[in-house]
Amino acid sequence: MKRLFAFPLLLALALFSGASAALDMSFRAVSPGVYAYLGETGARTYDNEGMNANSGFIVTDAGVVVVDSGATWKVAEQIHAAIRKVTKQPVKYVINTGGQDHRWLGNGYFKAQGAEIISAAAAIADMHARGALQLQGLAGELKDKVAGTEAVLPTRTFDNKEVLKLGGREIRLLHFHGGHTPGDSVVWLPKEKLLFSGDLVYVDRLLGVMPFSNAGDWLASFAEMEKLNPKIIVPGHGAVCDLKKAQRESRDYLRHLVDHMQKAVDDMTGLQEAIDSLDQSQWSHLANFEQLKGGNASRVYLEMENR
């Protein structure tokens, strides 16, 4: 598949001439042979290189599987450097768990290393639609650190399920109904009962319901994910957690939004009154609460209104 939305190197370099702060791409073992990077819970910044999200990799005897390629070529290169500290095995596969920039804009680097890049088919249209805008937004924040990054689409897709068997490991890729983005999917290790949830789970920070999100689909995907009964969850954002914490901080919050706004629409309550009467204080301890609570409420109201 051809690369799209090529981003000129010279333009990126011209945007910034200051000193470059180093991102600490430290991965920690969360299970034997399974590693996670936990990004910051705040916004994308120059210093964090757009990695305000989690990623990971799985080591097998026959190669490595990367879960989310990072926000830029440079970040992907740093992910690969971290892998090389653990194993000499080559990266065989890269899984994109969704259409957010930090899930897939490092694809170009890994494709150049010969890796096969996989996502849910439902993610492709989202990547197509938003890739150029994501690059433009990152260039404004990351400046020189976005150099070399291009929107390189996955080379292989699956509809609902794909099973990778590599080096004695079984790795299941599952797409349910989308949620934060239409192509949100999870990476499930059934033997370890370990789940890379992508953006279906946010903990330690408030989740974001965006214009491309669908709260109803998100809840439906979460319900499917619960059936797996994972023991360990590497969420899209926040610390490694168990299912109960994921339920409290993602599922219960979404359910609260949907139930309140559905009743408001049914009762013909206006948007502003519906927002003003919504009590989100149970989740006020989460990072980014003040920045996101209003937009989340209004978008879920509009979604319920347009059902």
What are the structural domains of the chain? Answer: 9-243 (3.60.15.10)
Contacts 24+ apart (CB under 8 A), 243-249: 245/203, 246/197, 246/201, 246/203, 249/202, 249/203, 249/204, 249/207, 249/283, 249/286
Handedness of CA 252, 130, 58, 225 (dihedral sign): positive
Neighbours of 193 (CB within 10 A): 14
What pLDDT, on the 0 to 100 scale, is given for residue 89? Answer: 98
**From CA 8, how far away is CA 13, in angstroms rounded?**
9
Query: 40-72: per-residue pLDDT in tens?
Result: 999 999 999 999 999 999 999 999 999 999 999
Quote the pLDDT of residue 23: 87
Q: What is the pLDDT of residue 21?
A: 53
| pLDDT tens digits along 98-115 | 999 999 999 999 999 999
Whether 292 has a pLDDT exceeding 60, the answer reads yes
High-pLDDT (> 90) share of the chain, %: 92
Q: What is the token pair recorded at 279?
A: 């009590």
What angle do the packed helices 289-305 and 252-266 form, to 10 degrees? 50
Average pLDDT of the chain is 93
